Amino acid sequence: MSSRSFSRDKPVGVIGVGSFGVAIANLLAEKNRVIVYARDPEVVAEINATHTARGRVLAPSIVGTNDPELICDRCDTLFPMIPSVGFREVMRIFAPFLHPYHFLIHGTKGLSLHLPEGQTMEDVTRINRDNISTMSELILDETVVVRVGCLAGPNLAKELMLKQPAATVIASRYKEVILEGQRLLRSDNFQVYGNSDIIGVELSGVLKNTIAIAAGALSGLGLGENAKGLLVSRGMVELIYLGKALGGSTKSFIGLAGIGDLVTTCNSTLSRNFTVGYRLAKGEQLTDIVADMEEVAEGINTVRLIKLFLESTDLRAPITENLYKVLFESFKVETALQYLMKYPFHVDVDFL
């Protein structure tokens, strides 16, 4: 069974029915039969009875299931769209039913911390690259799937649901994964580009979330476009340095998944990460913000992981370091901004 030939006539699977999972499922449903997986039987019943998932509208042709074996058997291509905090657990649930013929193209813009059994993030003061997994690395680690891809770009779920023009990048080391992702998703309103640097594209989507939180904070302080331009440009430099240290290519960071997504999320109130920064600047506590949000703002966990990673390197990432203090050490946003304004940058761009 593991050598079964790939079929284009089969339905496509989406794992997860958060806002982005629903948006991707609807895009796929324009040209394909789609099965979506949700763990909660009540959500599955809602999907099949009313064509909604927690109130989010799904195309009438989409079918829901909470059976991982069923969706893996019926679908050769699966799109995992779940938060990074639960990604490893879900892959372990799916692992017994996945085979080398499956294509997995994830859309999760987060990182996973991999520590020895029994240890947690609170137990360590520094980590290295071996302790950090992108979602593609996690899939390879937890399953027998070989052909892995990721989807990243300026893809705000609410705009996708409204069928507004947008584009994304499908990245994979395997050309057939890129071509299949393009075939399944490309439409008149949705362009799909390809990139072979999957790690760079994943890191682009992950690291821009940190800058998006900072952009929201600037907006919350009532600062203008000059300050935003400064943040985005210096944030891009920081993103590239960190991304290269984690194994990505500069070329990916200056593409759609990097600067394209960065500009979008640093200027949109639809961005969860932007919203976190905005509310922090307005004086709210992080615990209250997180408790009140319907979905995960991946940038919060990313800041914690990157701060630990920086402790084992000679890199400086002033935006990330100061944002860590704001998020976890009760540092005032105004104080962090003053520090950044005085940080001794002497060269504009020195990575090209």
- Residue of 224, 319, 326 whose CA lies nearest to 284: 326
Alpha-carbon distance of 236 to 220, in angstroms, equals 21
DSSP 249-312: -HHHHTSIIIIIHHHHHTS-TT-HHHHHHHHHHTT--HHHHHHH-SS--HHHHHHHHHHHHHTT
Biggest CA-to-CA distance, the chain = 61
For 304, counting Cβ atoms within 10 Å of its Cβ (0-12 exposed, 13-18 middle, 19+ buried), the class is: middle
Residue that is written with structure tokens 């987060």 in the block:
110
Give the residues across from 79 on adjacent strands: 14
Q: Cα–Cα–Cα angle for 8, 188, 148, nearest 5°?
A: 40
d(CA 132, CA 50): 40
Beta bridge partners of 100: none
Cα dist from 229 to 122, 143, 235, 277, whole Å: 35, 42, 10, 16
332 is catalytic: no
Catalytic residue among 109, 208, 228, 282: 208
Distance CA 148, CA 112 (A): 17
Catalytic positions, please? 208
